[in-house]
A and B are shown apart, each in its own frame.
Chain A
């Protein structure tokens, strides 16, 4: 009755697929749980059905990598227990054994694991500003997903705003797809782009591509602006434009751009809820201004049977995710004593990517001054619809210095998304109000279920729903 426990990989993106591949190579048959309909993750996300586009058309310069990853996964299928459209919504505490609660097609199950490799990926990091909940405002990643996976643009006349290399790439992709790109509004000052010079020595291809996108957009007449801060989405119930400020040599100017959709984001934030429920220890990462599960170079966490890889263990991008997935699998095999792989080359490649990321972070810095000018009436938590003013009032009235207290007393981060869309902002707001570094106001604790589950999920005790 009791079958031996299998290793379980959560997530079938670049990290999860490479982790699975490495385990299969050593004769194991991992269970791969993924929330998506098709494996590939977000960067190499696949459409529900083939739409006639080539890899080149869909994934641009990443086409080769996307194709290799998808092919690698297809080849793995006979050798793994792959379960798509499966949400892992809880992990038992270490002292309660190795148990996952999963939900698939409305059916709840508990499954055990011998080891667990968490490859949970990332979402866009966003910050609130007036009007960010208006229909037609999407995350930058969402705008790319709409095009890549659904063959749609989020509007006809689209403006892009934020910080990060993705900003220029997606704007360029939209232009190629036939949308009118009304503006590219970079929140970083132009001067920060000087850091790309030092990146050119390490990663000339990245810089060349960035230049290529930027120049093509400019040649096409797209308005590209730097040092931008948004003031407000124009339009009620739908996007009609964006009013923003920007710093110029002559001082600050207020401008508007007319558009029917806006995509924005500030790099990515890791999905760490499952590592939290697994009981992994966390540390604050100064560069990404976020709490991450503690990990060694290979992906071992503080919990002996749990490993982390990919952007969910620290934002480093898809190439690094592939490497870290393989490394986490190697670490797991090493810990079982059945592999002696030389990982020096993999570690060196990952290190090189992480160094590039450091430079990119300086070229596309996080707007640390965001809350100095965000008006009080701005919605902070889009689930519970709590305003910046309400959060600030709760902070003052309750002498709050810790993020979970802010949640308890103001409901910020208490809604359906469990703070995925507002925790970065709430953390910045609270640390700013307290006058302490971002890392000193604590970490929003994850709670099961990490995503909503239907109340009627179990017709009987943990059984299929009728």
Chain B
């Protein structure tokens, strides 16, 4: 029997963006349906590294990132759990003078955004971070950056949204969607018909299909993280770590496991699915030993991968559609959306309720790809 749902806003994609948007919109008094083809937070939002990091982002992302920075400490009040969020600090290492110069340049570039970066070089490095065994020229510390458990955050947002009255439809793939003039009509799952005034496309690596459907093709590609986790180890690594110019990142969770990543996983024949790459995992493991020699005898208990969306300029797409009134996009976070996502949810709520965002998002307009497409066509 056909189930009919009528809401103010329908959100396609229950990742951290979609589920936090659903909660924010419901709190703003709207009726909301959150639709996911699988389970909320099971894709990029759930399989990423878990870094809650502002350091290293391009300046245009920092207002959004700062807004998210104010949301993260409120998780318990918002969704009932803190999701293991801690402000451990994020330390970015430079192995060469050239890399350290890049860290210095970055610190200078983002000086006005209030990240509180501390540059440490030479012999001060081992005084400041005595647990650091690797040789490094210097490092940049963002003391209030941190990490959280990605497996927990988005599902908790979805459940909080559900408790607040959002209709959460999991295992419900969208089969058809059309603009009706006054809103949208969606067919989803076996036999669910959803009517809404406004529509959010936050379908992650699957967003390009919906964007193209509304006449806005985007150059979205898929990327696959390659992650490694060890058995629990004595607590020793107090910060989340990355490397300038390298592809290693790692953190130690409160239970003792080292969660580390770098390189890329490999897609399967069906690009919805991927596998960790043994080559990538091996280089992560070797780099881990170089950085943390005490881990030489630690056992790796699991690799994992997942599916994320990347845009060619490294920035996400956030904002209203340029072809379809009432449609909003938020996708393409390039493997770095975990930290900003709760702020994106808040921005989306502002967009649907007030038609504007209090945080600057112009740089993320979907129109930037239309322009590129037109210019490319003209030059041919």
Residue numbers of A with Cβ under 8 A of B are 90, 92-96, 101, 108, 110, 397-399, 402, 405, 408-409, 414-416, 418, 447-449, 452-458, 460-462
Beta-carbon contact of B304 and A452 below 8 Å: no
Beta-carbon contact of B155 and A455 below 8 Å: no
Beta-carbon contact of A405 and B300 below 8 Å: no
Beta-carbon contact of B230 and A455 below 8 Å: yes
B297 closest partner in A (C-beta): A454
In Å, the complex CA distance between A457 and B300 comes to 10
Residues of B280-301 at the interface with A, using a CB-CB cut-off of 8 Å, are 282-283, 285-286, 288-289, 295-301
Name A's interface SS.
Answer: loop
Beta-carbon contact of A449 and B302 below 8 Å: yes
Beta-carbon contact of B152 and A452 below 8 Å: no
Beta-carbon contact of B297 and A95 below 8 Å: no
In Å, the complex CA distance between A453 and B300 comes to 5
Q: Tell me if B327 is interfacial: C-beta within 8 Å of chain A.
A: no
Residues of B296-312 at the interface with A, using a CB-CB cut-off of 8 Å, are 296-304
Q: Tell me if B225 is interfacial: C-beta within 8 Å of chain A.
A: no
Residues of B within 8 A of A415 (CB): 231, 301
Beta-carbon contact of A447 and B285 below 8 Å: no
Question: Known contacts being A448-B303, A452-B301, is A409 close to B151, with CB within 8 Å?
Answer: yes
Residue in B80, B231, B282, B303 whose beta carbon sits within 8 Å of that of A458 in the complex: B282
Question: Known contacts being A416-B231, A456-B297, is A405 close to B302, with CB within 8 Å?
Answer: no
**Interface magnitude class on chain B:** 20 to 34
Residue in A101, A399, A454 whose beta carbon sits within 8 Å of that of B299 in the complex: A454
Q: Tell me if B242 is interfacial: C-beta within 8 Å of chain A.
A: no
Give the shortest distance, in Å, between B231 (CB) and chain A (any CB). 6
- A-B residue pairs, 6 tightest by C-beta: A452-B299, A456-B296, A408-B151, A95-B269, A455-B298, A456-B289
Beta-carbon contact of A418 and B302 below 8 Å: yes
Residues of A within 8 A of B184 (CB): none
Beta-carbon contact of A458 and B285 below 8 Å: yes
Give the shortest distance, in Å, between A275 (CB) and chain B (any CB). 15
Give the shortest distance, in Å, between A339 (CB) and chain B (any CB). 31
Residues of B30-44 at the interface with A, using a CB-CB cut-off of 8 Å, are 39, 42
A459 closest partner in B (C-beta): B286
Give the shortest distance, in Å, between B52 (CB) and chain A (any CB). 19
Residue numbers of B with Cβ under 8 A of A are 39, 42, 46, 80, 151-152, 155, 159, 162, 230-231, 266, 268-269, 275-276, 278-279, 282-283, 285-286, 288-289, 295-304
Residue in A398, A402, A448 whose beta carbon sits within 8 Å of that of B276 in the complex: A448
Beta-carbon contact of B159 and A449 below 8 Å: no
A90 closest partner in B (C-beta): B278
Beta-carbon contact of A93 and B275 below 8 Å: yes
In Å, the complex CA distance between A449 and B275 comes to 12
Residue in B155, B269, B278, B298 whose beta carbon sits within 8 Å of that of A409 in the complex: B155
In Å, the complex CA distance between A455 and B258 comes to 11
In Å, the complex CA distance between A204 and B356 comes to 82
In Å, the complex CA distance between A214 and B9 comes to 68
Beta-carbon contact of B268 and A93 below 8 Å: yes
Beta-carbon contact of A397 and B159 below 8 Å: yes
In Å, the complex CA distance between A96 and B267 comes to 10
Beta-carbon contact of A408 and B159 below 8 Å: no
Residues of A within 8 A of B152 (CB): 409
Give the shortest distance, in Å, between A72 (CB) and chain B (any CB). 35
Question: Known contacts being A90-B278, A93-B275, A456-B296, is A416 close to B301, with CB within 8 Å?
Answer: yes
Known: A416-B299, A458-B282. 10 other contacts (CB 8 A): A405-B155, A408-B155, A409-B152, A416-B301, A447-B302, A447-B303, A449-B300, A453-B299, A454-B296, A454-B300
In Å, the complex CA distance between A448 and B162 comes to 35
Beta-carbon contact of B39 and A405 below 8 Å: yes
Give the shortest distance, in Å, between A301 (CB) and chain B (any CB). 17
Beta-carbon contact of B285 and A456 below 8 Å: yes
Give the shortest distance, in Å, between A408 (CB) and chain B (any CB). 5
In Å, the complex CA distance between A453 and B296 comes to 11
In Å, the complex CA distance between A96 and B269 comes to 9
Residues of A within 8 A of B269 (CB): 94-95
Give the shortest distance, in Å, between B57 (CB) and chain A (any CB). 27
A408 closest partner in B (C-beta): B151
Residue in A397, A452, A453, A456 whose beta carbon sits within 8 Å of that of B295 in the complex: A456
Residue in A95, A96, A452, A455 whose beta carbon sits within 8 Å of that of B285 in the complex: A455
In Å, the complex CA distance between A458 and B300 comes to 12
Beta-carbon contact of B276 and A455 below 8 Å: no
Give the shortest distance, in Å, between B132 (CB) and chain A (any CB). 18
